[in-house]
Amino acid sequence: MSFASEVKKELFSIPNQPCCEKAQLMGILRCLSEIVIVKNQMKIKVTTKLSSVLRHIVPLLRKHYQAEGDLSYQDNLSMDKKRSYGVMISSNADKVIKELSLLPYEEVDLNHPLLKKECCQTAFIRGNFIARGSINDPKKSNYHLEILYKNESDALLAITILAKNYMNARISERKNGTLMYIKKAEEISNFLAFIGAANGIFYFEDSRILRDLNNSVNRIMNCDIANSNKSLQTCQYQLEAIKYLEDEGIVDKLTPRLRDAINLRKEYPDSSLKELSEYSYNVLGKEMSRSGINHCLREIVSIYEKRKQPLKELND
CA 149/CA 177 separation, integer angstroms: 6
pLDDT at 77 over 80: no
Using one digit for the tens of pLDDT, what is the confidence trace for 19-67? 999 999 999 999 999 999 888 889 999 999 889 999 999 999 999 999 9
CA distances from residue 100 to 38, 142, 190, 206 in whole angstroms, order as listed:
20, 35, 27, 38
Is pLDDT above 60 for 89?
A: yes
How large is the average pLDDT for residues 285-291? 89
63-88: b (≥16 Cβ within 10 Å) or e? ebbebebeeeeeeeeeeeeeeebbbb
pLDDT average, residue stretch 99-122:
94
Sign of CA dihedral 242, 247, 248, 254: positive
Given a contact cutoff of 8 angstroms between Cβ atoms, the answer to whether 180 and 158 are in contact is: yes
Q: Which amino acid is at 160?
A: T
Q: 3-196: which CATH number, 2.40.50.140, 3.30.110.40, 3.40.50.2300, 3.10.28.10?
A: 3.10.28.10
Tell me the whole-structure pTM to 2 decimals.
0.71
CB 196 within 8 A of CB 122: yes
Q: Where are the domains of the chain?
A: 3-196, 221-315
User: Who contacts 272 (Cβ-Cβ below 8 Å, separation ≥6)?
Assistant: 231
- Which residues, listed in sequence order, are joined to residue 71 by a DSSP beta bridge? 87
Percent of the chain residues topping a pLDDT of 70: 96
8 Å CB contact between 161 and 125: yes
pLDDT of residue 80: 59
